């Protein structure tokens, strides 16, 4: 007998997997009606993940955006869903239990019906409160299996994980294939195992299209009993996002499944509006490489949504390392060779880092360490010389239990640095903060908002919220957008660009860049003393938080003291002094770009 398959439009993830910013409240409200008029959707992914933080960065109030965006779908009975990161809630790092509880209460009242919760390490302990709080708020709790491929991530591993989530009270299971590397047959077996254990548990498939498995996987999981399939739409389908509605609809229908017909005129209207948002401004933040599919992801396992930023990081590193090679009278290397080294390094270190599923934020951690290792190898330096604090927290067990065992060299390095491993519940490391944050907002004269929703944003994204309230965020966004528009309009006046074709598996990328003043030698006016060099390119900042005290000239520091941070590839890398003595000179100001091997400080005994 034919079985119905429901469809979910991942409109949020379409944008987040393509570029930096997302549509604002007015744009989302404009596109909501034609999405509804398509008449084929049972669910819409509206918010969560980086959605709220990105709205703040653009100078928008995320609470107003979510309420306005979910309202039309609530009115017609289309379920809305959000993505949340378990222990991290909507942040990139762990948050307190009281903030997590408030988040579910607020998002439910704002009109979000389903919470898709995931833990980047697949540690059930980190989703226990998510399940509890989602159910208590009236939301539908959906727990994710973060899919990756290794000798320990077997079909039985994932079926066992799903059973634990169901026992904890989750109502649904999501197959979250963030890199699209789940093998179709194995995914089907996982779904079948879940359905055999709990026939009434809803299973939803979410697979990025990067390496090309997603269409076959969608059909395989549907045949195995999956209930809902996530899809995307032109002009933001395929590449690092998801398979298009038109393809998945036809594949499922041809196989005998009942899928709701869609209104083609409304589809074209949604497509046109999405393109308008791209053309107006958001396209300036979309890397066109994200439109490409890449079979090399099968082996490296890096998520599709990260490929655009990875290629951007790699271009900067390529320029930086060639600058260093030239300075040291060595032959320059091409970007194809550098990418190959990076891919090999990811494959080498991932098992030694405990096989963390390569999903936010752990995919960034593994990639960042791999890239620094590659740069150090070229310079003749050892591996593991720069591991940021967040990555160490993961390695030490402070973010949850790693799926695999750490390599001996990581354990030895932790011992040398006198770092202690943690085996208790990660949530116990974080004290409740709402009471303190409520007082801070009162002292500032700020309202905590309807249902304490402003208190939630202040607690989750403190720095971005302060910048939003001051107007700094809106100004920074508008200034940056104007600069990008001007750069686009005056591209013909720029120095002649260098073009290289790099081959990745069977695919080829055209990488275009210019050797600009940004990487030329800066007139540093070096003074006498020991120099502290930057080990990586990125943004120079003296402190990580507003409460930290920055170092200054004439401060006396000891070997091992943190001097500054380099914000690179979404993490803050602490730069420690290699010497004891007095700071003679600081060569960069907060927010300035630095490149590999730039002198940051001079310290004299």
> What is the CATH number for 589?
2.40.50.100
Do 462 and 367 share a domain, yes or no?
no
Kindly state whether residue 531 falls inside one of the protein's structural domains: yes
Do 355 and 465 share a domain, yes or no?
no
Do 534 and 564 share a domain, yes or no?
yes
Tell me what pLDDT residue 507 has.
Answer: 46
Lowest-pLDDT choice from 222-231, 263-272, 453-462, 561-570: 561-570
Do 418 and 301 share a domain, yes or no?
yes
Do 367 and 394 share a domain, yes or no?
yes
Do 321 and 416 share a domain, yes or no?
yes
Q: Could you tell me which residues come within 8 angstroms of residue 151 by beta carbon, excluding any fewer than 6 positions away?
A: none
- Among candidate residues 87, 172, 90, the one with its CA nearest the CA of residue 124: 87
Kindly state whether residue 376 falls inside one of the protein's structural domains: yes
Q: What is the pLDDT of residues 438-493, one digit of tens each?
A: 999 999 999 999 999 999 999 999 989 999 999 999 999 999 899 889 887 765 44
- The band of 359, judged by pLDDT with boundaries at 50, 70 and 90, is confident
Do 417 and 301 share a domain, yes or no?
yes
Judge whether 210 and 217 are in contact, CB under 8 Å: no
Average pLDDT for 322-350 = 84
SS3 category, 488: helix
Return the biggest CA–CA distance within the chain: 82
Do 465 and 402 share a domain, yes or no?
no
Strand partners, 202: 172
Kindly state whether residue 507 falls inside one of the protein's structural domains: no
Evaluate if residue 506 carries a pLDDT over 50.
Answer: no
Tell me what pLDDT residue 594 has.
Answer: 87
Do 449 and 416 share a domain, yes or no?
no
Tell me what pLDDT residue 332 has.
Answer: 86
Tell me what pLDDT residue 598 has.
Answer: 87
Tell me what pLDDT residue 296 has.
Answer: 64
Kindly state whether residue 302 falls inside one of the protein's structural domains: yes
Angle separating helix axes 389-396 and 408-416, nearest 10 degrees: 120
Domain around 549: 521-604
Better-predicted residue by pLDDT, 289 or 383: 383
Do 465 and 564 share a domain, yes or no?
no
Kindly state whether residue 527 falls inside one of the protein's structural domains: yes
Evaluate if residue 500 carries a pLDDT over 60.
Answer: no
Q: Which of 394, 422, 450 is the last residue of a domain?
A: 422
Kindly state whether residue 245 falls inside one of the protein's structural domains: no
Kindly state whether residue 311 falls inside one of the protein's structural domains: yes
Per-residue CA distances from 221 to 253, 441, 542 (Å): 14, 48, 50
Q: What is the pLDDT of residues 58-112, one digit of tens each?
A: 999 999 999 999 999 999 999 999 999 999 999 888 999 999 999 999 999 999 9
Mean pLDDT, the chain, integer: 89
Cα–Cα distance, 493 to 95 (Å, whole number): 47
**In what order do the strands lie in the sheet containing 593-594?**
571-576, 562-568, 538-541, 593-594
Residue 369 CA from chain centroid, whole number = 16
Judge whether 574 and 417 are in contact, CB under 8 Å: no
β-pair type (498-504, 581-586): unpaired
Do 382 and 340 share a domain, yes or no?
yes
Kindly state whether residue 439 falls inside one of the protein's structural domains: yes
Judge whether 394 and 333 are in contact, CB under 8 Å: no
Tell me what pLDDT residue 521 has.
Answer: 44
Lowest-pLDDT choice from 25-34, 257-266, 317-326, 554-563: 317-326
Cα–Cα distance, 504 to 27 (Å, whole number): 37
Angle separating helix axes 97-109 and 125-137, nearest 10 degrees: 40
pTM equals 0.84
Q: Which residues of 41-68 are buried (b: 16+ CB within 10 A; e: fewer)?
A: bbbbbbbbbbbbbbbbbbbbbbbbbbbb
Cα–Cα distance, 429 to 425 (Å, whole number): 8
Dihedral sign for Cα 82, 569, 289, 121, please: negative
Evaluate if residue 569 carries a pLDDT over 80.
Answer: no
Q: What is the pLDDT of residues 513-537, one digit of tens each?
A: 444 444 444 555 667 899 998 888 8
Q: Which of 395, 422, 449 is the last residue of a domain?
A: 422
Tell me what pLDDT residue 515 has.
Answer: 43
The domain tally of the chain equals 3
Do 305 and 418 share a domain, yes or no?
yes
Tell me what pLDDT residue 526 has.
Answer: 66
């Amino acid at each position: 007998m034919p079985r119905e398959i429901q469809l979910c439009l991942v409109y949020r993830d379409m944008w987040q997997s393509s570029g930096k910013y997302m549509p604002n409240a007015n744009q989302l409200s404009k596109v909501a009606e034609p999405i509804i008029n398509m008449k084929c959707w049972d669910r819409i992914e509206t918010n969560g993940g980086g959605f709220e933080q990105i709205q703040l960065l653009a100078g928008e109030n995320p609470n107003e955006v979510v309420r306005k965006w979910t309202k039309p779908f609530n009115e017609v009975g289309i379920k809305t869903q959000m993505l949340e990161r378990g222990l991290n809630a909507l942040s990139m790092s762990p948050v307190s239990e009281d903030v997590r509880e408030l988040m579910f209460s607020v998002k439910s009242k704002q009109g979000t019906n389903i919470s898709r919760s995931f833990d980047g390490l697949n540690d059930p302990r980190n989703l226990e409160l998510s399940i509890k709080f989602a159910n208590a708020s009236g939301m539908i709790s959906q727990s994710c299996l973060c899919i990756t491929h290794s000798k320990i991530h077997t079909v039985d591993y994932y079926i066992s994980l799903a059973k634990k989530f169901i026992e904890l009270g989750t109502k649904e299971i999501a197959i979250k294939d963030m890199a699209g590397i789940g093998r179709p047959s194995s995914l089907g077996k996982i779904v079948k195992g879940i359905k055999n254990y709990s026939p009434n548990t809803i299973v939803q498939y979410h697979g990025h299209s990067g390496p090309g498995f997603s269409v076959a996987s969608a059909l395989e999981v549907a045949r195995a009993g999956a209930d809902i399939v996530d899809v995307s739409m032109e002009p933001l389908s395929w590449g690092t996002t998801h398979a298009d509605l038109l393809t998945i609809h036809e594949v499922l229908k041809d196989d005998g499944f009942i899928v709701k017909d869609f209104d083609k005129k409304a589809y074209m209207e949604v497509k046109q509006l999405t393109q308008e948002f791209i053309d107006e401004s958001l396209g300036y933040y979309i890397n066109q490489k994200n439109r490409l599919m890449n079979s090399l992801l099968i082996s490296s396992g890096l998520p599709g949504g990260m490929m655009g930023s990875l290629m951007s990081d790699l271009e900067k590193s390529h320029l930086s390392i060639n600058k260093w090679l030239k300075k040291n009278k060595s032959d320059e290397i091409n970007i194809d060779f550098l990418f190959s080294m990076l891919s090999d390094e990811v494959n080498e270190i991932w098992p030694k880092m405990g096989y963390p599923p390569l999903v936010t934020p752990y995919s960034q951690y593994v990639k960042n360490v791999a890239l620094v290792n590659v740069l150090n190898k070229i310079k003749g330096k050892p591996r593991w010389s720069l591991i940021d604090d967040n990555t160490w927290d993961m390695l030490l067990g402070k973010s949850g239990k790693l799926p695999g065992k750490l390599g001996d060299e990581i354990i030895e390095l932790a011992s040398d640095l006198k770092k202690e491993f943690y085996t208790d519940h990660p949530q116990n490391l974080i004290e409740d903060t709402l009471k303190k944050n409520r007082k801070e907002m009162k002292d500032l004269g700020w309202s905590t908002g309807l249902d304490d929703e402003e208190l939630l944003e202040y607690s989750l994204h403190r720095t971005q919220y302060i910048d939003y309230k001051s107007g700094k965020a809106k100004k920074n966004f508008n200034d940056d957008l104007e600069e990008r528009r001007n750069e686009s309009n005056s591209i013909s006046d720029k120095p002649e660009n260098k073009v290289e074709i790099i081959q990745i598996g069977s695919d080829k990328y055209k990488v275009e860049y210019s050797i600009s003043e940004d990487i030329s030698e800066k007139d540093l006016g070096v003074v006498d003393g020991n120099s502290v060099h930057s080990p990586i390119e990125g943004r120079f900042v003296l402190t990580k938080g507003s409460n930290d005290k920055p170092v200054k000239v004439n401060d006396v520091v000891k070997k091992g003291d943190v001097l500054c941070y380099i914000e690179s590839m979404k993490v803050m890398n602490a730069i420690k002094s290699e010497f004891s003595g007095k700071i003679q000179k600081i060569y960069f100001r907060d927010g300035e770009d630095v490149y590999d091997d730039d002198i940051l400080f001079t310290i004299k005994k």
